[in-house]
Amino acid sequence: MSWFAVRNFVCSLVCSVFVGICWNSLIAADSEQKLTPEAKAQVQSALEAFNGLIGGWRGAAQPVRGSNKGAWTEKAEWVWEIKKDSVAICYQIKDGKALTEARLTYDPARKLFLLTAKLPDKKTREYAGKLEGNKLILDSKAETDGFVHRVTVTQLNDKRTLVLFEKRPAEGDRFSRIVEVGYTREGTTLAVEGAGEPECIVSGGKGTMQVSYKGKTYWVCCTGCRDAFNDDPEGILAEAAARAEKKKQKKK
């Protein structure tokens, strides 16, 4: 190999690593950024598309489609994380071999969903992507293993969800399956509008537990929303009133 070819290869490699580091740093910075009230409302509104995931799930993982070879079972729970200046949905997995936990949020400026995932080896991986129909498709940048990793979350209905893990060579364009986890619901689901079901005062999901404030009782859908309400009941009630008024105006 000529000196010029070696030089070009090294430059290309250094640039790829630098871009990957910048991308991952940008995503990490966005996911931890303190939000203004307006931005927080935008993030929460975008994440409400995943209200149907909130609750507990039983998962069956298959590395090979239609085969039990290498298969395992796991349990997962999706929980809202609503703080004073940040909003996310946490994905917590017990006995998982693809992920152990993850945090999903949204960047209103770039209109991208961001996922920070913790792997079984304690490393973290950053993904970014968009919601396409009922599929949330999230890709990482090329990593040191030479692959781009993808996670696709498909909400089939209120009782079934699929999470597919794939990868492709950094210079390739075809993804290959790593494993797909098929989840069956254990916990809550969305409140059906007009059906008289209790609605979460925080997220709009289906209420499963109650909280009280100043002698009044309200419904929440998960422990994350319960904690958010107890931390700032006045703020949550104000936000709920604003959402209700906005919904009312849309119907006119």
With beta carbons less than 8 A apart as the criterion, state whether 163 and 183 touch: yes
147 & 169 share domain: yes
Query: Are 131 and 65 contained in the same domain?
Result: yes
3-class DSSP assignment, residue 70: coil
CB neighbour list of residue 72: distance below 8 Å, 6 or more residues apart: 61, 95, 97
Q: What is the pLDDT along the chain (252 residues), one digit of tens a residue?
A: 444 443 444 344 333 333 343 334 434 444 456 889 889 999 999 999 999 999 999 999 999 988 889 999 999 999 999 998 899 999 999 999 999 999 999 999 999 999 999 999 999 999 999 999 999 999 999 998 899 999 999 999 888 999 999 999 999 999 999 999 999 998 555 444 455 678 899 988 888 899 999 999 999 988 889 988 998 899 889 888 887 887 777 776
Q: Provide the token pair at 170.
A: 């950094």
- pLDDT attached to residue 7: 42
Please tell me whether residues 179 and 222 are part of one structural domain.
no
For position 84, what pLDDT does the model report?
A: 86
Whether residue 216 is found in the same domain as residue 247: yes
Domain co-membership, 181 together with 193: no
The pLDDT score that the predictor gives to residue 33 is 64
Q: Which pLDDT value is given to residue 15?
A: 37
Neighbours of 169 (CB within 10 A): 14
Q: What's the total number of domains in the chain?
A: 2
CB neighbours of 219 closer than 8 A, spacing ≥ 6?
198, 199, 200, 201, 207, 208, 209, 210, 211
- Residue 17 has a pLDDT of 37
Q: Are residues 166 and 204 in the same domain?
A: no
Domain range holding 245? 188-252
Q: Are residues 42 and 143 in the same domain?
A: yes
- Sign of the CA dihedral running 148, 153, 156, 160: positive
Confidence (pLDDT) at 32: 53
Among 185, 204, 238, residue at a domain's last position: 185
Q: Which pTM does this prediction carry?
A: 0.75
pLDDT score for 195: 54
C-alpha span between 201 and 208 (Å, rounded): 11
